[in-house]
Amino acid sequence: MRVVNPEQLKSILANLPSNPRIIASGNFSAPRTLLKIADEVIPEFRLHMLNAHGDIPDREGIRFETAFVGPAMRNHERLDYIPSRLSLLPVLIRNFYRPDVVFLHTSQQRFDTVSLGTEVNILPRSIETARAHGGVVIAQSNKQMPYTYGDAQIYDSEIDYLVEVDEPLQEKPSVPITDIQAQIGSRIASLIEDNSTLQLGIGGVPDAVLMALKERKGLRIWTEMFSDGVLELSRAGTLDEEILITASFIFGTNELYQWLDLNKKVRMLRTERTNDPSQIARQAKMTSINSALEVDLFDQANASHVRGEIYSGFGGSTDFIVGALHSRGGQSFVALPSWHPKADVSTIVPRLQSNVTHFQHSFVVTEQGVAACFGHSQNDQAINIIHKAAHPSVREELVAKAAEFGLL
């Protein structure tokens, strides 16, 4: 590994092959210094990031790639969306989307390692693939990135160039939990037992679930990501102190990042491990909690498309739903409000007209109630969704459609 300054890095990047593919840390770990230099000196390149947030290079000559669309790439005309379960994305990187360059956002050096900090995810596979095929691995080593353990630890021999920076990390904005989200979270929490293992998606409902679980005991965390809610559970004594908190990426407040630094109770693993359904199924009472945009009478959920256009992606929801249902005592929740206030439409629909993101859940939960699905016939499943989850104003219409579909 060679430590270089930004001017030296410009010369290195200027001599890359034409139109290289750059895989960079995503979510709230974008390596902004490296991306800025690439924008200045590389005329054309493909930028591959998961759930990109904030300021990223955006001009003619740059094409975006991702399997999970974040705000920085959403609705973009130069976006190539790659449909993939998160657990399979490392396979795609190894076989189809090999990087010419990998940009890492890491901690400061600690002995002969740096840490990927808050974002492990697909980066270990990206590093391995780049090194196996003549690619270049470049890190921006940030004084403010926490040092985390597990697959986050990268030896300096795996990195070609390192640039030292001191820049604040992106933080998750604080968004108040709505009354409806609190109701949904409370309904889900009431069905979660002591000693369960939790996977939580992104949003107000998962946050509301965590707030309602502080009286539980012995909870465990095996998830692709978590935020400040897990820190609150740790402080409340709700978590099983003998079991490591397992995740693959993290975003939250600066307080959370400081808690993470050198915290040996948190284990960061690569995507192929956290999202492997067979590993998920081994967890005690695995409980998967994910949101959706709409659910139909066949328990099919759309959580990825708006008006037929890609909004996000599969993410890890499909991996964790399958793993949870295979876990002894496990259960899978899909959560959503029964009514979409902006569009002024029901989120429980007769049959999805958009793309199916996932299906076959233990329960569909809205502020109206909890509809049991797994273990029921498709007829009973539809009846439960109509009478327990749907908004009262559309139940008559849904009953008519269920009869038309032969579900009654």
Q: Which two tokens stand for residue 218?
A: 């012995």
Q: From CA 399, how far away is CA 383, in angstroms rounded? A: 8
d(CA 232, CA 217): 14
- Taking CA atoms, 293 is separated from 68, 74, 246, 268, 354, in Å, by 16, 16, 27, 29, 10
Residue in the block written with tokens 């329960």: 363
Q: Which residues pair with 359 in a beta bridge?
A: 300
Annotated catalytic, 224? yes
CB 284 within 8 A of CB 195: yes
Q: How many angstroms from the chain centroid is the CA of residue 318?
A: 11
21 DSSP β-pair partners:
46
Beta bridge partners of 163: 140
- Give the span between the Cα atoms of 198 and 81, in whole angstroms: 29
DSSP code of 19? S
Catalytic annotation, pick one of 65, 128, 224, 367: 224
For residue 30, give the nearest of 159, 114, 151, 118 by alpha carbon: 118
Query: Please, what sign has the CA dihedral across residues 344, 348, 349, 351?
Result: positive
Of 163, 220, 228, 179, the closest CA to residue 202 belongs to 228
Catalytic residue numbers?
224
